[in-house]
Chain A
């Protein structure tokens, strides 16, 4: 028994080395697994149910993988399709796959794993005290849940196993944990759960666990009680250091990883360099939950936004930027409250000083005087109309406001026309909760197609 999983890249859409992919295919993998999403790019993708990556680059990279699959006749699996993994983004990815199947003249079976959740059901779970906050979860309420634009449940090994068991050629999963995509087939083939989950975490970003992260591709070979990580790209090495250091990556705790159905503990893991250049990993521990739980992600709309940008190059204004912006803010507030009749709490005008402290804000410790400051003004309000009104009220002040009496009015530089831009709905993450399930498939759906 030796299960081989080929991971072409950390995320579909960021490109990978095709030569390395071909090297990997020569190793005769049993499955090709790729991740398609994350929350790392912010709440707007889940908010809208849309992909971060371009349709054309996604299609081009997926085409190569579909051709590889047809050659080897092995399953091809993508998780968190379309960045956020909602049903809508799974359908978007399914459309791309159907187009490619036609273009490549492939007859294939496709299984979709749908992970979007009904707000009503999640609210029911909340009311019956079946939602549990994870650390630093914001407070939730029925109102917040009902107002979510999208809620997804994160699939794990149990749901992905069901999808693989349909014997499809291509499996398109909605939101799934990164590690579970890699761990599923090995576990189905009898690999120890701790080994499979550990490999899942190490391999989640493709070649990030090697000396050459850009090459993308890695191959993981599983034995019952351990796994080999092998670089497949030229000029790429793996060492016990590069492999074990990946446990640290984007993980709040470097020794444990909470996953659907249990918790991985790698405190006692052993990483050993092999003669063929691979690294062999053993020794992790998996603690199975007695009560099966999955994680939920949800986004809601907190308002609308517009932005303006003005450049300040005049030395005396660069020096006095805080005074200038304070005066502008006060004037704007007065006009808004008089002419738009908005209450103080129903809108927000933020000034960010690019070149001074826009990145770190009050945490910035450097205080050097810049040549110029880009002032990014972010307006948040309850409607887009209000945002546009506020931006237009701001404009003449951003253009001409003077901090001096009895002097000619200054004029500042606008780099763009129109000078303000509509951002649209402002989404925020609001769920960081787990929900316990009697049966792992209770809130996930499979759809099977032959094309």
Chain B
């Protein structure tokens, strides 16, 4: 199964011109627990080709939301940037097969 089918919604946005922020909206507490156990900096680092120490993961227990903030692969609107609003970076996580690709912490 892909992560997309397991959670309510995944959204990616710019957090200013230099950072990207990806929010995973889990369906309930149980779902949140499962997902948070399977989201690791190692996995994010592999998917987004970004060093582990530049990744921040914020579990928001009360809201069943997991926020992941990473540096933009390219500064917003710079000549190498492909996605001005950072709109599609969440799709990489959405399409992730949950059993084999995500590495346990």
Would you give the 0/1 interface string for A354-371, flagging 1 where the beta carbon is closer than 8 Å to chain B?
A: 000011111101100000
Query: Bound complex: CA of A40 vs CA of B17, how far in Å?
Result: 7
- Provide a sorted-by-A list of 6 A–B residue pairs whose CB atoms are within 8 angstroms: A40-B85, A42-B84, A136-B18, A363-B48, A429-B18, A429-B76
Contacting pair B18 A359 (CB below 8 A): no
Task: Report A395-439 residues with CB < 8 Å from chain B CB.
Answer: 426-429, 432
> Cβ of B14: which chain A residues have Cβ within 8 Å of it?
39-40, 250
- In the assembled complex, which residues on chain B have CB atoms less than 8 Å from the CB atom of A429? 17-18, 75-78
- Give B90 Cβ to nearest chain A Cβ, in Å: 11
A57 within 8 A of B: no
Q: A-side interface residues toward B, CB under 8 Å? A: 39-44, 134-138, 241, 244-245, 248-255, 302-303, 305, 348, 350, 352, 358-363, 365-366, 378, 380, 426-429, 432
B91 contact set on A, CB distance < 8 A: 359-360
Q: Evaluate contact between A360 and B15: CB separation under 8 angstroms.
A: no
A365 with B75: CB separation less than 8 A: no
Partner of A361, one of B13, B23, B67, B82: B82
Given contacts A245-B65, A248-B67, are A253 and B77 in contact (CB under 8 A)?
no
Kindly list 9 other residue pairs between chains A and B, CB separation below 8 angstroms, not including A358-B82, A365-B95, A428-B77.
A136-B18, A248-B65, A250-B14, A250-B21, A252-B19, A253-B56, A302-B79, A360-B82, A360-B83
Contacting pair A136 B21 (CB below 8 A): no
* CB–CB B63/A245 < 8 A: yes
A248 and B77 in contact (CB under 8 A), knowing A363-B47, A366-B95?
Answer: no
Q: What distance in Å separates the Cβ of B23 from its nearest Cβ neighbour in chain A?
A: 5
Chain B residues lying within 8 Å of A136, measured Cβ to Cβ, are 18-19, 71-72
Please report the C-alpha to C-alpha distance between residue A378 and residue B84 in the assembled complex, in whole angstroms.
15
Nearest CB in chain A to that of B87: its residue: A359
Shortest distance from the beta carbon of B47 to any chain A beta carbon, whole Å: 7
Query: Are B79 and A380 touching (Cβ within 8 A)?
Result: yes
What are the 9 tightest A-B residue pairs by CB atom distance, in nearest-first order? A252-B15, A42-B77, A136-B18, A43-B77, A429-B17, A252-B69, A250-B13, A359-B88, A42-B84
Residues of A within 8 A of B62 (CB): 244
Interchain nearest-CB distance for B53 vs A (Å): 12
A365 touches B13 (CB 8 A): no
- A427:B77 contact, CB within 8 angstroms: yes
By a CB distance below 8 angstroms, the chain B residues around A43 are 17, 76-77
A213 and B60 CA atoms in complex are apart in Å by 22
| Least CB distance, A425 to chain B, in whole angstroms | 12
Query: Could you tell me which residues of chain B, from 1 to 52, have a CB within 8 Å of some CB in chain A?
Result: 13-19, 21, 23, 47-49
Structural contact, A249 and B13, CB atoms closer than 8 A:
yes
Say whether A138 contacts B13, CB under 8 Å: no
Cα distance, A238 to B14, chains bound together (Å): 25
Which of chain B's residues have a CB closer than 8 A to the CB of A359?
Answer: 82-83, 88, 91
- Cα A21 to Cα B8 in complex, Å, equals 31
Residue of A nearest to B62 (CB): A244
CB of A244 within 8 A of CB of B47, answer no
> Chain B residues near A245 (CB, 8 Å)?
63, 65
- Cβ–Cβ contact B18 & A378, under 8 A: no
The answer to whether B84 and A432 have CB atoms under 8 Å apart is: no
A362 to B73 alpha-carbon distance, docked (Å) = 10
Chain B hits for A366, CB < 8 A: 95
Q: Judging by beta carbons under 8 Å apart, are A251 and B65 in contact?
A: no
A41, A348, A361: which contacts B79 (Cβ < 8 A)?
A348
Known: A43-B76, A136-B71, A254-B60. Is A363-B13 also a contact (CB below 8 A)? no
What separation, in Å, do the CA atoms of A252 and B15 have in the docked complex?
5
In the bound complex, do residue A41 and residue B84 qualify as a contact, i.e. CB atoms below 8 Å apart? Answer: yes
Is B58 within 8 A of A253, CB to CB?
yes
Closest A residue to B25 using CB positions: A245
Least CB separation from A44: chain B residue: B77
**How long is the Cα–Cα vector from A125 to B60 in the complex, in angstroms?**
39
CB distance from B57 to the nearest CB of A (A): 11
Min Cβ gap A165→B in Å is 30
Q: Could you tell me the distance between the alpha carbons of A138 and B16 in the complex, rounded to whole angstroms?
A: 13
Minimum CB–CB distance from B44 to chain A (whole Å) comes to 12
* Chain B positions within 8 Å of A380 at CB level: 79
Residue of B nearest to A429 (CB): B17
Contact of A138 among B75, B79, B92, B95 (CB under 8 A): B75
Shortest Cβ gap from A282 to chain B (Å)? 15
**In whole angstroms, how far apart are the Cα atoms of A298 and B21 in the complex?**
22
Complex-state Cα separation, A137 to B19, whole angstroms: 10
Note all chain B residues with C-beta closer than 8 A to A427: 77
For the complex, give the distance between the alpha carbons of A78 and B77 in Å.
Answer: 26
Question: A252-B69, A253-B56, A432-B17 are contacts. A350–B79 as well, Cβ < 8 Å?
Answer: yes
Q: Separation in Å of the B102 CB from the closest CB of chain A?
A: 13
- Report the Cα distance A432→B18, complex, angstroms: 8
Contact A254 B67 (CB under 8 A): yes
Most chain A beta carbons < 10 A, residue from B17, B60, B62, B91:
B17
